[in-house]
């Protein structure tokens, strides 16, 4: 049986699927299976998957009723547990990977005797692959994965190689958007160290029609449920205090981003004021906790405060402007005297 199971959920990506599959079949590491999970795609993706399987015996296709990305990943994981593969990696069907992707990740876990390896991820808007890459790896603690800038982006499921056993009791939450936010921290914080490859070997396609990039909906709130689960898990863990602060900051950043996205765009089928009030209340609560930990100030974190206090912040800045004018007048008076 193959060493690595490569799991690719497939839904409405017929324009990109060939590119993704081709990048997997072009891997320098050959001992893998490619599990294409057709999530009830209404276009030609299902037929394309079957055609790909005829071309390469390493491809296994699963057709299922539409259940969303989490459900498709879970079906792929369940299939991997039905055979003797040892490792898992996930690739989204509109993305692609460097030919050294599997080899580099597998070499990193093998050389360092670890359970997870991670590589750089590059956001791209058009196809391209680096001519030469450095696949050397370093060992990072799981805490550093969260707190060190070079390894941030931990919530992604992709661009990682996982020991399959890590998923024995973990699955992605069906029906949720931002499913990685609910899941990745459980995997990463279950190990002490990971192998990290700085080189971006995973190409994350910026698809403007993708699920997460769509206009604001009530399902956008799923992300914050995931963050709150993480913060609850981390609360009181002195050994993970730095991780807790980072997650607090990321939580507030995304609350603020979501607030302004909703405020500044049309929102059909929802009570816009209701959700703005919910986001603002969450921000106020988060700010109180974050300020207690860090002593955050308005001037250094304006977007957070603007989202949390959309009315009061206007008074604050008016007061600051008046104060600056007053101080300027005082200084002018002093200089004349």
Distance in Å from the first CA to the final CA of the chain: 89
> Tokens 């959700």 — which residue?
275
DSSP 215: P
Determine phi and psi for 176, rounding to 5 degrees. Answer: -100, 140
Q: Report the distance separating Cα 181 and Cα 173, nearest Å.
A: 10
Q: Report the distance separating Cα 134 and Cα 312, nearest Å.
A: 51
- Taking only Cα atoms into account, the Rg of the chain, rounded to an integer number of angstroms, comes to 23
What is the per-residue pLDDT across 175-196, written as a single tens digit (0 to 9) for each? Answer: 998 899 999 999 988 999 999 9
Write down the CATH number for the domain with range 4-205.
3.90.550.10
Residues 320-329, mean pLDDT to the nearest whole number:
60
Longest CA–CA separation in the chain, Å: 90
What is the per-residue pLDDT across 276-305, written as a single tens digit (0 to 9) for each? Answer: 999 999 998 998 888 888 776 666 667 777
As given in the structure block, the two tokens for residue 51 are 């055609």
Q: Report the distance separating Cα 101 and Cα 27, nearest Å.
A: 7
Nearest alpha-carbon partner for 240 in 117, 162, 154: 154
% pLDDT > 90, the chain: 60
More confident residue, 337 or 111: 111
Q: Report the distance separating Cα 62 and Cα 64, nearest Å.
A: 6
What is the per-residue pLDDT across 119-161, written as a single tens digit (0 to 9) for each? Answer: 999 999 889 999 889 999 999 998 887 777 555 556 789 999 9
More confident residue, 24 or 215: 24
What is the per-residue pLDDT across 73-92, written as a single tens digit (0 to 9) for each? Answer: 999 999 999 999 999 999 99
Q: Report the distance separating Cα 152 and Cα 175, nearest Å.
A: 26
Domain locations along the chain: 4-205, 223-314
C-alpha dihedral, 126 to 127 to 129 to 131, nearest 10°: -90
DSSP state letters, 113-160 = T-SEEEEEEEEESS----SS-----EEEEHHHHHHSGGG--TT-SSSE
């Amino acid at each position: 049986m193959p060493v690595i199971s490569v799991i690719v959920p497939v839904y409405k990506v017929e324009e990109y699927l060939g590119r993704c599959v081709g990048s997997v079949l072009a891997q320098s590491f050959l001992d893998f299976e490619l599990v294409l999970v057709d999530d009830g795609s209404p276009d030609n993706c299902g037929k394309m998957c079957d055609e790909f399987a005829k071309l390469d015996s390493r491809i296994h296709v699963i057709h299922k009723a539409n259940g969303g990305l989490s459900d498709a990943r879970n079906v792929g994981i369940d299939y991997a547990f039905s055979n003797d593969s040892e490792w898992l990696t996930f690739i989204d069907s509109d993305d692609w990977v460097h030919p050294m992707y599997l080899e580099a990740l597998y070499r990193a876990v093998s050389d360092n005797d670890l359970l997870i390896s991670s590589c750089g991820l590059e956001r791209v808007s058009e196809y391209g692959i680096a001519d030469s890459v450095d696949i050397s790896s370093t060992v990072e603690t799981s805490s550093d994965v969260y707190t060190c800038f070079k390894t941030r982006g931990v919530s992604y499921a992709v661009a990682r190689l996982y020991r399959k056993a890590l998923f024995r009791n973990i699955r992605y939450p069906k029906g949720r958007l931002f499913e990685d936010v609910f899941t990745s921290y459980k995997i990463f914080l279950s190990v002490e160290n990971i192998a990290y490859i700085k080189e971006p070997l995973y190409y994350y396609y910026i698809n403007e029609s993708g699920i997460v990039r769509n206009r604001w909906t009530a399902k956008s709130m799923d992300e914050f449920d995931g963050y709150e689960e993480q913060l609850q898990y981390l609360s009181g863990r002195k050994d993970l205090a730095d991780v807790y602060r980072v997650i607090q900051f990321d939580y507030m950043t995304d609350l603020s981003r979501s607030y302004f996205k909703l405020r500044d765009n049309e929102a059909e089928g929802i009570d816009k004021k209701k959700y703005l009030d919910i986001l603002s209340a969450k921000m106020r609560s988060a700010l109180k906790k974050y300020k207690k930990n860090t002593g955050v100030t308005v001037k250094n974190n304006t977007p957070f405060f603007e989202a949390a206090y959309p009315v009061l912040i206007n008074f604050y800045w008016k007061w600051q402007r008046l104060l600056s004018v007053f101080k300027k007048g005082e200084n002018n008076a002093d200089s004349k005297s």
